[in-house]
Structure 1
Amino acid sequence: MSSSARLRTVLADALTEDGALTDPAWHDAAQAVPRELFLSSYFVRVPDSAPTSYRPVHQGEDGWLEGIYTDRTLITQLDGRVRPGDVTDDSVTGDPTSSSTLPSLVLRMWQQLDVDAGQRVLEVGTGTGYSTALGAHRLGDDRLTSIEYDPVVGRAAASALASAGYAPRLVVGDGLRGDPYAGPSTYDRLIATCSVRYVPLAWLHQVKPGGKILVTLSGWGYASGLTLLTVTGPGSATGRLLPGFTSFMIARPHDRPPRPALPLLPGEERPSLIDPAMIGTWTGSWVAQLAAPAAERMGAGAEQILWDVSTGSQARTGLGPDGGWTVVQRGPVRLWDRVETAIRLWQAAGEPHQEGFGITVSAAGQRVWIGSEDGTGWDLPM
């Protein structure tokens, strides 16, 4: 047995023992697909670097193959253009824009999609092609179409898939618009390996009624939640957020607009009605993002900053001089007022994790709610 095959078996068995991999068919896929063909090089984060730096790891280097079969996400592109092979220095800074997601999450999502043999699947976000290869192995090349936004990433994925012996249908384009060559109700399932601020309407028409969409909802507050929707008709769906902690890079057309350096300007100060650290927790940040979807969140603990670049509205919190917390707000949108209201409603509902939230999509809009459809809710930006 080759080193690669041995490492694949070890990883697949470990994921099964951990409970991440429960379907024998997906275990077979994990054991069969050589992830190294999709990761001839990758970036690893340089510990304690500020700003965050990344070191390229190339094929043949010590630890290259072992790193590939560690259950972790491996960065493959920075700033939408820099790939590991482009770096001549020991390290480089930048924002990750493409990656190979940790295998346990990829396989868990394929299982959560609940896809059966014979069904047609649209994957949005080919990336390196590793997830696509797993899907093609399990379902067959003719049942899977994958769309990649970045043409350079798409070409590399196509080459890697061919090397691995898979030939699903590949498209380069804006996956948020769905398959440009497919008509309504073409697909039984849709799986997205990027996150979105709202569910693209094209998906709700290309997936058949009764079909499922698995996608991570996120936003400019950097909060995320994995969501499984059932299409109820053309342009409509309902679903729930799933347990766990799932995040993906946001689809580039949904990313926040560029902003200048943040000037902290004076505003109106008052006591805060909530502990600002609440919006630094996983679900607390999700609730805050629902309440103020156009705001970017920065800071930590009691010192939080919200900034809506579109209106110039700001909110910043801190410790009060006599205990408690204060907030300073300015601009036409009182961001902290909205966040406080949302957090207190969530607290009144018992502070459920995201699996306590659901979503309804219709011609009227997209609404996330707590508990039931007639419960507390917020509209997603569109």
Structure 2
Amino acid sequence: MRMLEALEVDDGMTVTEYGTGTGYSTALMCRRLGANRVSSVETDPDVAARAAAALERCGHRPRLVVGNGLDGAGLHKPADRTIAAMGVRNIPEAWVRETQPTGIILATLRGWMRSLGLVQLVVDGEQTATGRFIAGEPHFMIARQQDAPESLGMLPGLEDGTTRTTPHGPELLRIYDSGFVAQLAMPNARFFTMPADDGTVNTYMLDSTNDSFAVLSPDGDAWTVRQGGPVLLWDEVERSLALWHTAGAPGPSEFGVSVTPGSQRVWLGTPSGPSWSLPIV
């Protein structure tokens, strides 16, 4: 309901929804705007069929599409509003292209470690969009086409990488605000814990796209990090945390997103502030 309110629809507008699901939110938009002004895309044929039946029982017959929503909805005319009920690693170019200039895109950005949050973007006439995260912590499963590879990659050997002390432990990955920053710093990483032969519980961060790794290990009351590969993952996290703390450790609503053809980034404060690139999928 909060998402539909943030969509800011008005009489006569058209809406494209990605992720029909049960069809519940689709029905609400049909009730508000009229079914002829609503399109909804679902990737799973069985889910789509159940939603179509439920909508039919409610007397709503919107335009329903079965397919990969990341490729768009095949609209002949861009919609006034675009809303996604699934997490995406970046904003698909098709969504920008199929949204009218000055129109709104509402979607949840996320990575392979966690959700970043709900972002409200306004499209301009140059196939670009800019906006900010909305306060709150929505969780959607990631779009199936962007899910993480099944393989985490190779575990580093005991002698791989270089080791140093670090003031930060793995708990920051699990806290919402600091986890948000860590996800920006390591957009292609995943983390997990695993005990070593001596019983020490280590936290592994692996980037399966380039074989970079970082391993956090307890060292008394402190922590050490061992990292290697083309990107020093924990260095990136610490650098991002330093920028965040310098700005007063703000919540995600102080971050924004800029989308241009071939480039997407999250920025802190203003579009000219510190920024992190989103993966282009």
Q: Does TM-score exceed 0.5, indicating one fold?
A: yes
Following superposition, the deviation at residue 284 of structure 1 comes to 1.2
TM-score in terms of structure 2 length: 0.91
Q: Deviations over 1:302-348 (max 9, x none)?
A: 95321111222221213223x32111213232111111111111111
The offset of 1:261, in angstroms, is: 7.9
Q: Which residue of 2 aligns with 1:240?
A: 132
Alignment match of 1:285 (pick from 162, 166, 179): 179
Secondary structure of 1:247's counterpart equals coil
Number of the residue aligned with 1:311? 210
| RMSD of equivalent CA atoms | 1.8
- Aligned pair 1:142/2:36, yes or no? yes
> 5+ unaligned residues in a row in structure 2: which ranges?
195-200
- Counterpart in the other structure of 2:70: 176
How many residues matched?
A: 272
Determine whether 1:381 maps to 2:279. yes
Q: Is 1:204 equivalent to 2:204 in the alignment?
A: no
Alignment match, 2:229: 331
Within 5 A, what are the aligned runs for 1:57-76? Answer: none
Higher relative contact order (CA 8 A, sep 6+): 2
Matches within 5 A, 1:1-382: 107-180=1-74, 182-183=75-76, 186-259=78-151, 263=155, 265-266=157-158, 267=160, 268-299=162-193, 304-321=203-220, 323-363=221-261, 365-382=263-280
- Partner SS state of residue 133, structure 1: helix
Mapped partners of 1:304, 1:377: distance in 2? 26
Q: Please tell me whether the aligned partners of residues 153 and 211 of structure 2 are also in contact (alpha carbons under 8 angstroms).
A: no
User: Aligned partners of 2:242 and 2:174: how far apart in 1?
Assistant: 15
Normalised by the size of structure 1, how large is the TM-score?
0.68
1:299 positional shift = 4.2
Deviation at 1:164, TM superposition (A): 2.1
Q: In the TM superposition, what whole-angstrom CA distance separates every residue of 1:35-89 from its partner, at most 9, and x where no partner exists?
A: xxxxxxxxxxxxxxxxxxxxxxxxxxxxxxxxxxxxxxxxxxxxxxxxxxxxxxx
Asked if the contact 2:115/2:138 (under 8 Å) is kept, the reply is no
Partner SS, residue 124 of structure 2: strand
Q: Which runs of 5+ in 1 are unaligned?
A: 1-106
Q: Compare the two structures and name the one with the higher strand fraction.
A: 2
Q: Post-superposition shift, 1:260?
A: 5.5
**SS of the counterpart of 1:372?**
coil
Q: Which amino acid aligns with 1:113?
A: L
Helix, strand or coil at the partner of 1:117? coil
The letter of the residue matching 1:250 is I
Equivalent residues of 1:299, 1:305 under 8 A apart: yes
Q: Aligned-pair distance for 1:139?
A: 1.4
Query: Going by fraction, where is helix more abundant, 1 or 2?
Result: 1
Contact preservation (8 Å) 2:118, 2:138: yes
